[in-house]
Structure 1
Amino acid sequence: MYLLLIGVFAVQGAAVFRMPETVVRRPGAFASMVPELAAPPGVRGALFAATPMLFATWALAGFHGSLGPALARHLSGSDSTVMAGLGLFLLAATGALSALLFGRVPPRAGMLSGGVLLAAASLATFTAIGAGSAPGLFAGTFVAGVGFGAGIQGAIRTVVAHALPGERTGVMPVLFVVCYLGMGVPSVLAGTLVVHGGGLVATARQYTLFVLVLVVAASIGLLLTNRSTPRSGR
């Protein structure tokens, strides 16, 4: 009964205090949901410098998300679900904390720090796989998480700082496409190699070497890229 009265009063109140709509309905609602991809001239230099780092960062994240759980079980000799998911937890937790910590670091320095940490994580993971060490794998995952947060934070801030407010709706989707390609394409290829190639361990070592080369190339490219003044003032 009380709920019914409350509902009646709510409907009456909405009818009494309803404000007239001030926006005119226009066609094109579905078209407005289509993502806009744009790389304005003032953003292209920063985008060129950040794209390899974004791809490499998410490629390493894709490794820990695709091969990581099976590799953790293989190296530890345990069928525990906790053991399989521990690496992803470490990556996500350290990545989130790292993104907060590196939020005060200049974007370019954040990207370079992320590259160094990701290279160290790739080497640690490669060594751990060769030694059959599960603790070494998790240590490499921890370092990868720190590098992930630093690299993502620095790369996105670098590009956004060069985009004017009206350009960001087209620039951000470009960054997301690069991130998803970096995470998805190498992971799918690695899964194919696990099944039809040399198996889990061999593919994992090849994957880490691939990421290492990618990160080093991205870091060198960043160092060789000329610095420019942000247009947005950030």
Structure 2
Amino acid sequence: MASVTALRSRRRLPVLGRRGAFRLHASTLVALLAASSAPTPVYALYQAAWHFSAMTLTVVFSAYVLALLVALLTAGTLSDHLGRRPVLAGALLAEAVAMAVSAAAQGVPELIAGRSLQGLATGVATSAAGAALLDFEAPDRPGRAAVANGIMPVAGMAVGVLVSTALVQYAPAPTRTVYLLLLVLFIAQAAAVRLTPETARTESGTWRPIRLLHLLRPTITVAPASRPGLALAAPGIVAAWALGGFYSSLGPSLARLIAPHAAHATGGLVFFTLTAAAGLAGHAARALPARTVSLAGAALLIPGALLTLAAPHLHSLLALFAGTALAGAGFGGVTQGALRLLLRPAAPGERAGSLATYYALSYLAMSIPVVLAGLLTNLYGLQASVALYGATVVALTLTGLIRAAHLPHKA
């Protein structure tokens, strides 16, 4: 008996401590969102090689977002029931497969297939990794996980677009290299997840097919204690992520409209500016009250959108980047404040579902306006599309701020 026990002990995988597991899951969020933004600088190369329109570009972009929404609405709570570790490891391996499909793409259909699979995997993985951050939060540093959930995704988007922009400019096979690097990273992270302790209270019989089908029904789950915070932040969330979608998909096209002879890297740097400013603003505001941060971030979206709207008329890249930086600071404030309002009151068994709902709202706001903007661009041109987009974001933000002024301060 002693020898059997010793053998099992030798076979047991080492387990990361709380701090190591927290850092691993934070890095996973960075990698997932880096992969989501990495294609942004590559889209111009695809357009040049495959000769597709702005509308097709927004369809490719939205394929990822809509698949992610499906995953969030059906599988966002899986890690609360099946366990963080198996759900996250499986999603990361699926993410690696998606990178392989995208690297091998020879046309728009394959690109859409790769992005769709990536969206499904990301939807499952982000809610699981975000909830795990809360599980592994150090007791003596409360609130750190909510801050990380706000900063790591935008930091990931910034890193993804910056590295991809550099690869487009300097690396061989730029439409493949970034995906292959991410593929290796996701496989390594999937293996590392096995070294973390399980924190979710899994349910007996959960793996049975009937039980799994029940769990995969489309649902919207928000912790009851988190609903007032979500109601306060929702307009800002929609406005911020709608702007994020615009900069991600059409930002490079807008940069080319303003400066047709600028380097390819310029388009990618537009989205990098947004996400870098968001990450810095979120980090700087981490000690301020969540309500204040959320509303101040929403207010910054207005001058950001207006300056971006004016940039084509001014023929000024400086105006475009200044507007993007302001919008990015607003984006960071909105996401930081909203996640703290949403996650702090949630019980452990409500975390993945609440995060999935936040991401579902965010990506819904990111995808539908972008598809409409692509259609408007085809019909009336990019400049008219930018004007309508910016005006809509400003109107939505003002509506949210006026509404927030009439809500009880405890929300």
Give how far 1:51 is off: 1.3
Which residue is 2:160 aligned to? none
Look up the equivalent residue of 2:407 and give its one-letter code: T
Superposition RMSD in Å: 2.5
Which residue is 1:75 aligned to? 258
**Aligned CA distance change for structure 1 residues 24 and 53 (closer, same or farther; 3 Å):** closer
Structure 2 residue 31 is matched with structure 1 residue 38:
no
Structure 2 residue 204 is matched with structure 1 residue 211:
no
Q: Is the 8 A contact 1:50 1:159 kept in 2?
A: no
Query: Map of 1:117-132 to 2, 5 A cutoff?
Result: 117-132=300-315
Deviations 1:150-188 (A, max 9, x none): 110011111223323332232111111000011111001
Q: Within 2, Cα distance between the matches of 1:213 and 1:94?
A: 23
Q: 1:27 aligns with which of 181, 205, 215?
A: 205
Q: Is the 8 A contact 2:223 2:347 kept in 1?
A: no
Which residue is 1:105 aligned to? 288
Q: Within 1, Cα distance between the matches of 2:233 and 2:250?
A: 26
Structure 2 residue 374 is matched with structure 1 residue 191:
yes
Q: Within 1, Cα distance between the matches of 2:330 and 2:9?
A: 56
Moved more, 123-132 or 101-110: 123-132
Q: Within 2, Cα distance between the matches of 1:42 and 1:155?
A: 14
Q: Within 2, Cα distance between the matches of 1:172 and 1:24?
A: 18
**Aligned CA distance change for structure 1 residues 115 and 24 (closer, same or farther; 3 Å):** closer
Structure 2 residue 137 is matched with structure 1 residue 137:
no
TM-score scaled by length of structure 1: 0.82
Give how far 1:25 is off: 9.6
Give how far 1:74 is off: 0.9
Which residue is 2:330 aligned to? 147
Count residues with an aligned counterpart: 213
Give how far 1:26 is off: 4.4
Q: Is the 8 A contact 1:193 1:203 kept in 2?
A: yes
**Aligned CA distance change for structure 1 residues 111 and 200 (closer, same or farther; 3 Å):** same
Which residue is 1:6 aligned to? none
Q: 2:299 aligns with which of 109, 112, 116?
A: 116
Q: Within 2, Cα distance between the matches of 1:143 and 1:16?
A: 55
Q: Secondary structure at the match of 1:104?
A: coil
Q: Within 2, Cα distance between the matches of 1:76 and 1:198?
A: 20
Give how far 1:146 is off: 0.9
Deviations 1:6-28 (A, max 9, x none): xxxxxxx9667346xxx999433
Deviations 1:34-60 (A, max 9, x none): 486313443322221111111111011
Q: Secondary structure at the match of 2:353?
A: helix
Look up the equivalent residue of 2:264 and give its one-letter code: T
Structure 2 residue 400 is matched with structure 1 residue 201:
no
The alignment-based identity, stated in percent, is 34
**Aligned CA distance change for structure 1 residues 28 and 144 (closer, same or farther; 3 Å):** same
Which residue is 1:90 aligned to? 273
Q: Is the 8 A contact 1:94 1:142 kept in 2?
A: yes
Unaligned runs of 5+ in 2: 1-5, 13-200
Q: 1:55 aligns with which of 212, 235, 238?
A: 238
Which residue is 2:342 aligned to? 159
Which residue is 1:9 aligned to? none
Moved more, 73-82 or 135-144: 73-82
**Aligned CA distance change for structure 1 residues 28 and 124 (closer, same or farther; 3 Å):** same
TM-score scaled by length of structure 2: 0.48
Moved more, 35-44 or 68-77: 35-44
